Every structure is written in structure tokens, then in C-alpha cells.
Amino acid sequence: MNDFPYSNTNKRYHTLDYFYKNKFGCKVCKISLNAGFTCPNIDGTLGTKGCIYCSKSGSGEFGGNKNDDLITQFESVKKVMDKKWPNSKYIGYFQARSNTYAPLNILKEKYETILKLDNVVGLSIATRPDCISDECLDYLDRLNKKTFLTVELGLQTIHEKTTKLINRCHDLKCFEDMVKKLKQKNIFTVVHIINGLPDETKDMMIETVKYLNNLNIDGIKIHMLSVLKDTPLAKLYEIKPFHLLSEEEYVDIVCDQLEYLKPEIVIQRLTGDPMTDDLIAPLWLPKKTQVLNDIDKEMAKRNSYQGIKVK
């Protein structure tokens, strides 16, 4: 295999570390934050139960303590990062729940609190496609002109039947329209998808990444479905157990997905990070390093790389 053009390691895909080092010339660390936002799928606007897999923390397991102010959260995580990667730059990662779902004055106060900190080179804002108002979009446009802004949109799957099952409460057109609006403003756009959703086949999961190739997205996060305690998914799994991917199946599917993804798309994540105390299944999921190593080995075994199957 020729050296993959978007890697400076043994990775055969476009890693986030490679992207940041080429953009900023140094190591860049994302600092996960919990700004105390909620979600229209929880506060009663669309629903009260949330997506069926969503944890109590709203996907913010490794974010800060929402009872602490944002600067305290940031400095606490930064202290840990600095021991491993001294002299780094930082991106404030608003992770838990829907981080554009608040009045504009609140968003400004929270985002700009982090941007004022030393060595912060950008923000990454995780949200839903139905949670960015026109007013918010205009503000994000202005923010994008003064810092490196990333907006992360949850999609999970393109398949309507699954979307209804997992209680996303928005359709594919809503997602597609928001991606187009963000890209029109040249905002770096990352999409979250989940492998192993109930009754989805390997072909369906590959169809999701093929669809994303056509939307001009900048990055992707691929997660494995985790069944967590005290979620509607846990109840569903108890009443009617469904097939959960083995680690071998997951690795095989991810490698296929990488082969179908355009090489320019930055791979920001290839597995999940559930809290082990909350995890019901699959029990292999916390072995993150092993999963990533097995993906590397499988890509090498195939003599393959990201985008090899893109026509």
C-alpha cells in the first residue's frame, strides 16, 4: 500500500490528531465540558424520554461536573491533559446534551467564557440538527470567523424505521438541511452515527456512510451502540433481546465503512466510551485500545485504507 496521505502514523484513516497537527502545528487536546444544557427531546418540547440509548449524562460521561462553573471544569481536565501532552493547544468541547439549545445570550456567555482562556484555539459544539435557530446560525457564522469552530450533529442512522424506534424526533430532511446551512457558512461539520442499532444490517450501516459522502461533511464519529442502565433501550433489551454486534463484527463493519468514506473526511472517533458502571452490554466495549488496534490490524490485513472503495 502507498502511504495513506492523511496519516503520519500506522493509521490507514484520516485521524483527528493528524488533522489538528497539520492545521495548528502542535498537539491539540479537546476539553470536554458540561454546560448544563437540556434537549427538546427531554424537556417536553418534542418528548420527555430522550433517545432510547441516551445516558443520564446526555452523552457527557467524560465532561465536567455541571455543578462546577465552566472555567473550573476546563482547568480540571486541562491539568490532566498537561501531564501527558505539555505545551498543547486546546479546544473547548461542549459535549453533554444539545449545546445550541438555549437563548442566544446564554450561548454567547458560555462559549466566549472558554474562548477567552489561554491557548484555546477553537470550540467544538455537539447538538441536534433541529436545535440551531436562524439566530443561532448567524452567531455561529460570526464565531467561525474568529476561531476554529466545529459543529457536531447527531444523526445515528439514515433509516427512518430505526430513527422512529430510537425516538430521535427529527427526520432525515431536517438533518440534511442543517448540514447544508452549516456548509454554506463554511462551518466545519462533524456527524455522529451509531453501529449496531436494533435490526440494522451491515448493508444498512454502510448505506449511512455512503449517504454522508454526498453531503460534503468534514468529519465523522462512529460509535457502537451501548445498552446502559436506566434507559429505555435497557428495558427494550430486557423484554426483547436483540442482537448486539460482537467485537469482530463491529471491527469488520467499521473497516468497510472506512473503505467507503472519502479520504478527506476526518475520523474523529471509531468506538464509544461508556461508563463501565452503567454498561449492560456489549461487555467488550470498554476495551477501547483493543478495538482500535484490531481495526488497524484488519485494515493492514486487507491492505486497505480509507476511501479505497470511493468511486
Domain ranges (residues) in the chain: 16-301
CA–CA gap between residue 10 and residue 227 (Å, rounded) = 32
CA–CA gap between residue 83 and residue 35 (Å, rounded) = 25
* Model pLDDT, residue 2: 47
* Model pLDDT, residue 63: 61
In the 8-state DSSP scheme, what is residue 262? -
Q: What backbone phi and psi angles, to 5 degrees, belong to 44?
A: 100, -10
* Model pLDDT, residue 169: 85
Looking at the DSSP assignment, which residues form a beta bridge with residue 93?
A: 32, 124
Helices (H) and strands (E) in the chain, counts: 10, 9
pLDDT, tens digit, 9 for 90 and up, residues 208-247: 999 999 999 999 999 999 999 999 999 999 999 999 999 9
* Model pLDDT, residue 201: 97
Q: What backbone phi and psi angles, to 5 degrees, belong to 212?
A: -65, -30
Q: Which of 151, 182, 147 is nearest to 23 (CA)?
A: 147
Look up residue 287 and give its three cell numbers: 476495551
SS (H, E, C) 119-180: CEEEEEEEECCCCCCHHHHHHHHHHHCCCEEEEEEEEECCCHHHHHHCCCCCCHHHHHHHHH
CA–CA gap between residue 246 and residue 16 (Å, rounded) = 26
Beta strand segments in 143-300, E: 148-156, 188-195, 219-224, 227-228, 266-269, 279-281
Residues of the chain with pLDDT under 70: 1-2, 56-64
CA–CA gap between residue 290 and residue 251 (Å, rounded) = 10
CA–CA gap between residue 202 and residue 219 (Å, rounded) = 21
* Model pLDDT, residue 138: 98
Could you confirm whether domain 16-301 is CATH 3.40.50.150?
Answer: no
* Model pLDDT, residue 60: 47
